[in-house]
Amino acid sequence: MIVLVTGCRSGFGLHIAVRAARAGHTVYAGLRDLATKDALLEAAAGLDVRPVQLDVVDEAQQRAVVDAIVEEHGRLDALVNNAGVALGGFWEQVEEDELRRLFDVNVFAPWALTKRCLPHLRAAGARGIVINVTSMAGRQAMPGLGMYAASKFALEGMTEALRHELRPFGVRVVLVEPGPYRTDIFGRNRTIAKHADEASPYAPYMARLEAVVAKLETKMGDPTEVADLVVRLLTDPRPRLRYPLGPGVPARLWARRVLPFEGVEKIIQRIVGF
C-alpha cells in the first residue's frame, strides 16, 4: 500500500511510519520541519519510509505532497491523520488565538488533507482507508483539558459521518483513540494556556491536575502498541469505527457505560481532588 502519515517526528507517527514500512508498505512520513528527519531515518534504516515536508496547516504543502505521491505511484491507498497538538488550561484561561491554533491543527488540518486525498482514496476502493488518531479525550472531557477535548470531539463526529459517506465507495474509515501513552504531547510538545499562571484563581486546581499527570506519567503505555494497531488496521477488510486503547481505558469505558454522568463526575472529582 501507498500510505501517507502525518506528524512523524516522534511518538505515534514515527512508530506508525516505521512499522508500516516494516510490514511492506511504502510510507510517506509527514514532518512539520524536514530538518528534524534524522530520528525517523535512523529508526527506519533500510525501510521504504520517505520523509516529506508537511506542515498540516499549510495548504500548499498538503497539495504538493499529495500531488507528488500520486504522480510517482499513480495512487494513494491510505491516510493516517496523526499530527495533533494539546492545550492545557481552564476555559477562562484560554485565549481565542490559542483555541483557533488548536482547532487549526486538530480539526481543520485533517479535514483539509483528507478532502484533498479523497478522490484518490475513492479510486482505491476497498484498499482505501482513512485512520484518524484522536484520543480518549474525544470520548470524555476532563477539567483543564476542555479545549483539547473539544477539538477531539469535533474530529470524532466528523469521522463518524465520513465513515457513512465513504461506505458506498468501499473506503474504510477508522478512529484510533489512545489513552495515556509516552509521547511528546506530555513532554516537548506540552502546551499550557499562556494565562494559566500563579495569579489565576484556577492556579491551585491546575497544580492538582499537574500532580495527577505526574503520577500518570509512571503508568503510561508504550506508543508502539498504537502503531501496531494502526498497521493491522491498514489491511483489515472490516474494521470497527472506534478502537480505544491504553492504560486505564477499559475502566473508563466501563464507567461511562454503566454509570450515570453524576457517578462518573464523582469519580473524576476524587481523582483530581476538586
Catalytically active residues are 148
d(CA 176, CA 179): 10
Q: Which residue has the cell 510517482?
A: 72
| Edge-to-edge strand ranges of the sheet holding 49-53 | 49-53, 26-31, 2-5, 78-81, 129-133, 172-178, 242-245
Torsion of CA 229, 231, 233, 237, to 10 degrees: -150
Number of Cα atoms under 13 Å in the Cβ half of residue 115: 9
Q: How far is CA 240 from CA 82, 166, 236, 244, in A?
A: 18, 14, 9, 11
SS3 for 227-245, per residue? HHHHHHHHCCCCCCCEEEE
- Selection from 56, 157, 145, 159 nearest residue 106 by Cα: 56
| Separation of CA 12 from chain center | 8
User: Which residues of the chain form beta strands (DSSP E)?
Assistant: 2-5, 26-31, 49-53, 78-81, 129-133, 172-178, 242-245
Q: Does residue 48 sit in helix, strand or coil?
A: coil
Backbone angles phi, psi at 37, to 5 degrees: -75, -10
